[in-house]
Structure 1
Amino acid sequence: MAHKHSLEALNRILKDIKNNDKLFGGTLLVLSGDFRQTLPVIPRSTYADEINACLKSSTLWRNVEIVQLKVNMRVQMLQDPSAETVSKQLLDIDDGKVTIAETGYIKLANDFCTIIDSQDALIEQIFPDVHTNYINLEWLAERAMLAAKNVDVDILNLKIQQLLPGDLVSYRSIDTVCDGTEAVNFPTEFLNSLDLPGMPPHNLQLKVGSPIILLRNLNPPRLRNGTRLVIKKIMKKVIEGTILNGKLRGENILIPRIPIIPTDH
């Protein structure tokens, strides 16, 4: 995911520091990654811009020796045949070994997944009897739903939370501009309509018992991006939660209200 300019800058810096004209100042550099996953993210760019930012488009690429890892250690440690099957199916898609339909879309195998007719049926399949089972943290920790678009995430979150007992509590973001002279150009209604990537929605609705996920590193490695928690208590400016995953599973923590200002707005 690193931009090629980052490595090119590192190359020049190491040459200067070590006073050596060899590549990276004669230092052996080990890189890890997979081009079948996420390429460098370039805001408001085209496909060509992303390819151009990739390491393969750099003059450094001709000096890279590729070493491949063949064993999926996560699957091997699980010792689950179904996980091995899914891993192989995903690699076949990445390697272009699956059939392409006339429409140009990938045609998945019939046994690739289970097709559900509606969102309600999906919720019942993943979270059966959630109104009673949500108090079982182990049961909650092994369940999650993914969606391609944020709008689908919001709809699913609201539907699942409505199945939990208790009332929804709304946490609204600060809707004033930093520069008071710009208030006329950015009315409150406009600020409330913004849904910025990597940030919670303007009106964040939560319930006791709702699973949540952190979007920022607050106190690594204890509280970092991706840590899953379940809400234990809701207060005006603080949320008390219980960690669901990792070595600190079961530990109670407090999340205060934190001002976050996007760098590109």
Structure 2
Amino acid sequence: MQSNETPTCNVSKNSAMAKVLQQCKLIVWDECTMAHKKSLEALDRTLKDLRSNNNRFGGAMILLAGDFRQTLPVIPRSTPADELNACLKSSNLWKHVKVLHLSKNMRVELQNDQSGNIFSKQLIDIGNGKFPIDMLTGCINFPQSFVS
């Protein structure tokens, strides 16, 4: 893809999908961290066009949900720098994103599951780089309770 390309989503102004996108107030994009930044930029241009509104995303609210500690965009035959450049955080739209962090696993909380709570906290510690690493192997040694 050339850097001067400005892709849009393939949605005709008279289609049923266009009607939905013209009326919706909120769009939830789950696992957004795997998407290429050009996808978000294409959605912005498409919504502006479909809604005849030059505000970001045509005035619709976009909820981006995901974890940047997980899989970033996969770019075949690329370098790590290419993947970072494709990441949503590299988009010119990112400066307008308000980042919120979830701090409580509600599934565990509502089920009052103590073992699930421990497991959930261990996953967060791994994601935050706070889980002990074996100095000889460079690997994480999981407690038996984690894997049983």
Please confirm whether the aligned pair reaches a TM-score higher than 0.5, indicating the same fold. Answer: yes
RMSD of equivalent CA atoms: 2.4
Partner of 2:107: 74
Q: Does 1:8 align with 2:48?
A: no
- Would you identify which runs of 4 or more consecutive aligned residues in structure 1 move more than 6 Å? none
Where is the helix percentage greater, Structure 1 or Structure 2?
A: 2
Q: Does 1:52 align with 2:85?
A: yes
Which whole-Å deviations, capped at 9, do the CAs of 1:51-89 have from their partners, x for residues lacking one? 222111111110000122222122224432111111111
For the residue of structure 2 that corresponds to 1:36, the secondary structure is coil
Q: Does 1:35 align with 2:68?
A: yes
For the residue of structure 1 that corresponds to 2:77, the secondary structure is coil
> How far, CA to CA, are the matches of 1:55 and 1:90 in structure 2?
24
Letter of the 1:22 counterpart: N
Where is the strand percentage greater, Structure 1 or Structure 2?
A: 1
Instruction: Say whether the 8 Å CA contact 1:99–1:107 is kept in structure 2.
Output: yes
Partner of 1:64: 97
Which whole-Å deviations, capped at 9, do the CAs of 1:219-246 have from their partners, x for residues lacking one? xxxxxxxxxxxxxxxxxxxxxxxxxxxx
Matches within 5 A, 1:54-203: 54-102=87-135, 105-108=138-141, 110-111=143-144, 113=146
> How far, CA to CA, are the matches of 1:66 and 1:39 in structure 2?
17
> How far, CA to CA, are the matches of 2:142 and 2:106 in structure 1?
25
Question: Taking structure 1 as the reference length, what is the TM-score of the superposition?
Answer: 0.38
Which whole-Å deviations, capped at 9, do the CAs of 1:123-180 have from their partners, x for residues lacking one? xxx9xxxxxxxxxxxxxxxxxxxxxxxxxxxxxxxxxxxxxxxxxxxxxxxxxxxxxx
Letter of the 1:40 counterpart: P
Partner of 1:254: none
Cα offset, 1:95, TM superposition: 0.7
| Aligned length, in residue pairs | 115
Letter of the 2:80 counterpart: Y
Instruction: Say whether the 8 Å CA contact 2:38–2:86 is kept in structure 1.
Output: yes
For the residue of structure 2 that corresponds to 1:30, the secondary structure is strand
Letter of the 2:107 counterpart: R
User: Relative CO higher for 1 or 2, CA cutoff 8 Å, sep ≥ 6?
Assistant: 2
Question: Taking structure 2 as the reference length, what is the TM-score of the superposition?
Answer: 0.64
Cα offset, 1:102, TM superposition: 3.9
For the residue of structure 1 that corresponds to 2:132, the secondary structure is coil
